Amino acid sequence: MQIFSQQGILAFITLIWVASWGHLGAAKKPSPIQTTAQRLVSDGNATVVWVSAVVRIEVSAGGRSYPAQEQKREALGTIVGKDGLVVVSSSMIDPTASIRKQMRSPSASVNVEFQEVRILLDDGSEILSRIILKDSDLDLAFVQPLPGDEKLKSAAIRPVNLRSKAKPRILDEVLVLGKLGRTLYRQPTVRLARVSSVITKPRNYYVISQAMPGAPVFDARGRLLGVAVYKIANGAPTSMVTLPAEDILEIAIQAKDRANKPK
């Protein structure tokens, strides 16, 4: 019978241990979708920003006017233009629909005036902006930086490609970009989600788990699919859906045209 020395046994155990760790290291290699996710947030996610707005709300119903109120709101937004143009969920920045829903009065009149709008950057700076177009039916609002703001020139922004032709299929894995709130230092987030439904009539929508209003959604290769918004029914936000990039592009062009028209 062959007898192994203590040194030989230790060498054999060491060899097995090294081989096991080598196997584990290989298993930890990032998947393609993990690599895409890391690329999308490699610059701190310069595609997604928070938009802050101070609104003045005036409400009247049944012949009675209520005292005007001011409210500060924040909404997640996606940068869609090199000029800093941002798209947000209209119902997240404009409280009109939620107020009407609470009042439950068809005769109620709600007037919302945007007194101050700012795009919040990661370094803590703020860019004075304005809302140039709202499409309440599609739950879209476009926010444009005011001209002449020097902070925008040095800001690290990465607009999405609204001309993307990528189309998802049911159960495709997708990535939802976002940012945490102020108390968590507005750090970038990425969520792995799946397409649960593709709606084609009467309008194209994607139903995607883990989506957040105003957040961009990408396929596994990093191509833009669309931006998450609320489906509006009877003037009120209902389910979360993702509006395809091509539809957002159409409204974004209208927004820029309107903003560029002489007053």
Over the stretch 47-76, which tens digit does the pLDDT of each residue have? 999 999 999 999 988 778 888 999 999 999
| Residue pLDDT, tens place only, 195-224 | 999 999 999 999 998 999 999 999 999 999
Cβ atoms of 86 and 78 within 8 Å: the answer is yes
Provide the β-strand partners of residue 190: 177
Q: What is the pTM of this model?
A: 0.85
**Domains of the chain with bracketed CATH:** 48-260 (2.40.10.120)
Residues in the chain: 263
Q: In sequence order, what are the residues at sequence separation of 6 or more whose Cβ sits closer than 8 angstroms to the Cβ of residue 254? A: 133
pLDDT in tens, 220-257: 999 999 999 999 998 889 999 999 999 999 999 999 99
Q: How far apart are CA 144 and CA 89, in angstroms?
A: 14
